[in-house]
């Protein structure tokens, strides 16, 4: 009887400890996605002392430190956080995989760590390195999936990589296929949808990726608004979730809702880290330009695009590319086709995998053909 009572007591302690862990880890994740990054890092450090073999914590700390550096320093310094994190965390994960070969968690977060490296390769447009990093991650993620078919967290990094491949060149798709990766856009979206509703940890990031995919690539603005709202409303401190929701509103011409939401958007470039202020102000100017363009206020759209383009300093060039595209179309529609050609060329440089690339290519080609035809006459 005493032995049984002792077991019950120990079991109750374990459940209580697990409950305490869940509260603390959820608090850290909530801080991460509300951009309370210093608080997140402190909480992860504290948890790491008590849970030294937890598979999530090393990955979570690297993610928070990388995002903190990205907001407060320069992109190159943030990349060093990832490189250093990989050097330190990969050996740890490999040791844990050897020690606990049946635990898919270590495989999951080791694969996800290589996914962060792929994100740097994307920022630097190193396509081959991106595929190499992505396939390294995929190998570990696929092993995790073999161990636990219900581990839906693996579908976020796999779906993201496969969607990128489906938008990439044939040679990159062939390389990806050698490692077992698909290049089917709809299948990739299906994986992201599964992770967005069934995963334990990656549902937030899955919805972030889906918001981007639906908004910019698939142009399904209703879905973009639905998905982006689900994370922007739950994590009001995250500026980039908010701007995904805001652009979905503008694309749907829900201008009253966008204007009502604008004070929340303005807060992100009036307060916070300097890099956040710069990026969010550019995004807000771009959204205003998009709204003016949709309402055929082309001169105003051009003026707002000029403000985005002049002195653009943000890591990714997507907003810059879209600003050039709006300015190009505004210039062409106001009879300044020659001036628009420059912007179409810049659009193609920055938006290679976006629908705007083909539009710019087509419009640029038509303008060149018409110019050549007029000279012959």
In a domain, 376, yes or no: yes
pLDDT confidence tier of residue 371, bands split at 50, 70 and 90: low
**Which residue's entry shows tokens 């050609």?**
341
What pLDDT shows up at residue 179? 75
What pLDDT shows up at residue 11? 38
Q: What is the CA radius of gyration of the chain?
A: 23
In a domain, 215, yes or no: no
CATH of the domain at 302: 1.25.40
Stated length of the chain: 377
| Angle ∠(31,34,35) on CA atoms, nearest 5 | 85
pLDDT above 70 (res 373): no
Count of structural domains within the chain:
1
In a domain, 261, yes or no: no
pLDDT above 90 (res 226): yes
Q: Residue 296: which domain range?
A: 272-377
Mean pLDDT score, 15-30: 81
**Which residue's entry shows tokens 């805001």?**
246
Mean pLDDT score, 154-162: 91
Under a CB-based contact definition with an 8 Å cutoff, are residues 113 and 137 in contact?
Answer: yes
Mean pLDDT score, 345-357: 93
Q: Which of 92-101, 119-128, 352-361 comes out lowest in average pLDDT? A: 119-128
pLDDT above 60 (res 208): yes
Mean pLDDT score, 214-239: 97
For 53-100, the pLDDT digits (tens) are 999 999 999 999 999 998 988 888 888 888 898 889 999 999 999 999
How far, CA to CA in Å, does 302 sit from each of 41, 118, 248, 343?
Answer: 42, 35, 21, 11
In a domain, 93, yes or no: no
Structure tokens at 347: 């659009």
pLDDT confidence tier of residue 117, bands split at 50, 70 and 90: confident
In a domain, 21, yes or no: no
In a domain, 304, yes or no: yes
What pLDDT shows up at residue 16? 42
Percentage of the chain surpassing pLDDT 70? 92
Percentage of the chain surpassing pLDDT 90? 70
Euclidean distance between CA atoms 375 and 340, whole angstroms: 19
What pLDDT shows up at residue 261? 97
What pLDDT shows up at residue 86? 87
pLDDT confidence tier of residue 40, bands split at 50, 70 and 90: very high
Mean pLDDT score, 202-218: 96
In a domain, 153, yes or no: no
**Mean of per-residue pLDDT scores for the chain:** 89
In a domain, 157, yes or no: no
pLDDT above 60 (res 7): no
Q: Which of 110-114, 165-169, 177-181, 255-259 is predicted most confidently? A: 255-259
């Amino acid at each position: 009887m005493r032995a049984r009572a002792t077991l019950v007591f120990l079991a109750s302690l374990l459940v209580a400890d697990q409950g305490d862990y869940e509260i603390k880890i959820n608090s850290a994740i909530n801080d991460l996605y509300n951009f309370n990054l210093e608080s997140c890092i402190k909480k992860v450090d504290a948890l790491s002392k008590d849970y030294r073999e937890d598979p999530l914590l090393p990955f979570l700390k690297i993610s928070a430190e990388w995002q903190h550096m990205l907001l407060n320093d320069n992109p190159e310094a943030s990349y060093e956080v990832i490189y250093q994190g990989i050097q330190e965390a990969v050996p740890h994960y490999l040791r844990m995989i050897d020690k606990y070969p049946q635990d898919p968690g270590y495989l999951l977060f080791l694969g996800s760590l290589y996914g962060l490296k792929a994100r740097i390769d994307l920022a630097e447009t190193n396509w081959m390195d991106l595929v190499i990093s992505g396939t390294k991650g995929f190998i570990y993620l696929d092993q995790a999936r073999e161990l636990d078919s219900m581990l839906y967290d693996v579908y976020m990094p796999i779906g993201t990589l496969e969607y990128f491949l489906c938008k990439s060149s044939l040679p990159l798709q062939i390389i990806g296929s050698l490692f077992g990766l698909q290049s089917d856009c709809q299948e990739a979206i299906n994986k992201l949808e599964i992770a967005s509703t069934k995963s334990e940890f990656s549902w937030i990031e899955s919805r972030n990726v889906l918001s981007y995919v639906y908004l910019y690539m698939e142009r399904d603005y209703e879905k973009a608004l639905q998905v982006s709202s689900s994370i922007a409303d739950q994590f009001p401190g995250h500026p980039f979730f908010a701007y995904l929701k805001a652009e979905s509103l503008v694309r749907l011409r829900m201008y009253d809702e966008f204007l009502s939401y604008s004070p929340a958007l303005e807060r992100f470039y009036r307060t916070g880290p300097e890099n956040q202020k710069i990026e969010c102000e550019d995004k807000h100017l771009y959204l205003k330009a998009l709204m003016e363009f949709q309402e055929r206020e082309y001169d105003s759209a051009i003026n707002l695009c000029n403000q985005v383009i002049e002195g653009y300093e943000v890591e990714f060039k997507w907003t810059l590319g879209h600003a050039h595209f709006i300015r190009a179309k505004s210039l062409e529609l106001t009879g300044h086709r020659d001036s628009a050609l420059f912007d179409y060329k810049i659009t193609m440089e920055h938006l290679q995998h976006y629908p705007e690339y083909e539009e710019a290519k087509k419009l640029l080609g038509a303008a060149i053909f018409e110019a050549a035809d007029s000279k012959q006459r």
